[in-house]
Structure 1
Amino acid sequence: MSRRQVNPSRRFADSGNVPLASSLQSKSPSSPYLTVGLIFVGALLLLGYSYSGSGGFGARKLAFRRVEGDFSCTTEVQRAIPILKKAYGDSMLKVLHVGPDTCSVVSNLLKEEDTEAWGVEPYDIEDADSNCKSLVRKGIVRVADIKFPLPYRAKSFSHVIVSDALDYLSPKYLNITLPELARVATNGLVIFTGYPGQQRAKVAVISKFGRPAKLRSLSWWKRFFVQTGLQENEAAIKTFEQDAVQMSYNPSCQIFHLRSNH
């Protein structure tokens, strides 16, 4: 049986041992040194908290969020949009994003000059905000199961960006979905996936994805790309990495730049 901790002061009061209680009370006033120390520690904690918001301890804060399950490669796409635009230049004209929270990505892409943006949401959007519902009504964002052929003609988009979607598919369905994503892209397919060891979804929301995320290694993905007739776009990789360094962008996801062999 578990035992509940007893409050010592209550025990003393119940025992009627008044002299002992009074002697404890006589020693209770805090030392001025202790008070000053507590104030100093509190100031350090406040400083550390404010510093974490501007960088500094940001890495620890991000690591904590990953453990809690808030980590998202779709959020990473939002950060990478300026680098992608710079790396691909004028060829990035009509973009399809595939993944959860695609409404946010599409909204950001639409703010880019001379860029059309469309989205496919593979999961349910019951809690979508008014902006997302408006994009769905206009047909800019579609809700579709990516385990089946996409509702677009071949080469409908200059680029296809996918995030937080392939990690939840088994190899059986990846063999269908990955070539399908490449089919509708003219100039390139950009994939954002998590690193092995990153927790991607809390147990409470796993049912939304149907299964826990399967985070694969770099070597696993490279082998799979070859098996599915895709090859990495070395020129795009080099340009993207150079632009990322110039813009101080350090990705938290694996990013693959692909092109179809067909």
Structure 2
Amino acid sequence: MPRRPAYPARISSGGGNIPFMASIRSKSRNSPFLSIGLVVLGAILLIGYCYSNSGGANGGLQGLSKLEGGASCTLEVIKALPVLKKAYGDRMQKVLHVGPDTFSVVSSLLTEEDTEAWGIEPYDLDEVDAECKSLVHRGIVRVADIKFPLPYRGKSFSIVIVSEALDYLSPRYLNQTLPELVRVSTNGVVIFTGYPGEQLKAGSRDVTKFGRPTKLRNPSWWIRFFVKNSLEENEVVGKKFEQASLKSSYTPACQVFHLKSFP
């Protein structure tokens, strides 16, 4: 904005208001430049605000890590892959991932040496890119309702990783689905589910982008469910996972459980 005159303009009876008129003409001449300057400044501030809120260059990844109601456990699987490899070692040779957006997990696994990967998308596909379509056409990713028996023989995979898919199932269907996941594994099942912390309450519900009610179950609920269905937690691998997480400064945003395969 134009500076105010160093000395206030005085109005006199004999036309002594010339300095005042000069000030008005100065404001009139400067107003277009002032308007342009304000517009440019506003644009700069707006861009800076958006950039800071998005987290800069990593804003896209951080944005994807949130669903309506908490962290994306499928994205959490991708973050945890290095830790899982340390916990399971060479047993992660043939991996099946089950959950929404399984394409991203499978694609990440396929970049690892000596690792085979398959995926099950439990929900209908809307719009997918060419790479996802290619995985479906090649039979690497399947679309299947996990409330029914899985289309694989027993012990077809070394490790089965499931994320978010169990959060939408009632205990009635969990009684069928979780043993199926264990059936097709040889070295265990890794479950990424729910959201730890104070916001997690047994039996609470939240509606996510999938349009289905999700059940945010706490650890004690899951442990009771495992015992009731004769599913045994793998404490040895669980401790290795915790140790590897500490060394990697990785803190899971979701609950992580490790189950043993059937004998």
Fold match (TM-score > 0.5): yes
Aligned to 1:201: 208
Aligned to 2:161: 161
Relative to the length of structure 1, the TM-score reads 0.73
What letter corresponds to residue 248 of structure 1 in structure 2?
S
1:134 to 2:134 alignment: yes
Aligned to 1:244: 245
Distance 1:90 1:125, change over 3 A: same
What letter corresponds to residue 215 of structure 2 in structure 1?
K
1:196-230 per-residue CA deviation (whole Å, 9 max, x = no partner) reads 2795604xx41xxxx31011010000000111111
Q: Percent identity?
A: 63
Looking at structure 1, the residues matched to 218 and 45 of structure 2 have their Cα atoms a distance apart, in angstroms, of 40
1:187 to 2:194 alignment: no
Distance 1:154 1:191, change over 3 A: same
The answer on whether the counterparts of 1:70 and 1:200 sit within 8 Å (CA) in structure 2 is no
1:33-85 per-residue CA deviation (whole Å, 9 max, x = no partner) reads xxxxxxxxx99998887666669xx9xx87x945x447310010010111101
Aligned to 2:86: 86
What's the offset of the Cα at 1:126? 2.3
Distance 1:131 1:70, change over 3 A: farther
Distance 1:180 1:49, change over 3 A: same
Looking at structure 2, the residues matched to 234 and 213 of structure 1 have their Cα atoms a distance apart, in angstroms, of 27
Following TM superposition, the consecutive aligned residue runs of length 4 or more in structure 1 with deviations greater than 3 angstroms are 42-55, 68-71, 197-200
Looking at structure 2, the residues matched to 170 and 82 of structure 1 have their Cα atoms a distance apart, in angstroms, of 31
The answer on whether the counterparts of 1:98 and 1:120 sit within 8 Å (CA) in structure 2 is yes
Aligned residue runs from structure 1 range 1-262, under 5 A = 65-66=66-67, 68-69=68-69, 71-195=71-195, 196=200, 199=206, 201-202=208-209, 205-206=210-211, 211-262=212-263
What letter corresponds to residue 136 of structure 1 in structure 2?
V
Looking at structure 1, the residues matched to 239 and 77 of structure 2 have their Cα atoms a distance apart, in angstroms, of 18
- How many residue pairs end up in the alignment? 220
Looking at structure 1, the residues matched to 85 and 50 of structure 2 have their Cα atoms a distance apart, in angstroms, of 34
What letter corresponds to residue 234 of structure 1 in structure 2?
E
SS in 2 for 1:142: strand
More divergent stretch after superposition (236-245 vs 44-53): 44-53
The answer on whether the counterparts of 2:148 and 2:177 sit within 8 Å (CA) in structure 1 is yes
The answer on whether the counterparts of 1:190 and 1:255 sit within 8 Å (CA) in structure 2 is yes
Looking at structure 1, the residues matched to 45 and 205 of structure 2 have their Cα atoms a distance apart, in angstroms, of 30
Relative to the length of structure 2, the TM-score reads 0.73
The answer on whether the counterparts of 2:66 and 2:72 sit within 8 Å (CA) in structure 1 is no
- Structure 1 unaligned spans of 5+: 1-28, 30-41
1:81-110 per-residue CA deviation (whole Å, 9 max, x = no partner) reads 111011111111000000010011000001
Superposition RMSD on alpha carbons, in Å? 3.2
What letter corresponds to residue 83 of structure 1 in structure 2?
V
SS in 1 for 2:158: strand
SS in 2 for 1:213: strand
SS in 1 for 2:95: strand
What's the offset of the Cα at 1:117? 0.2
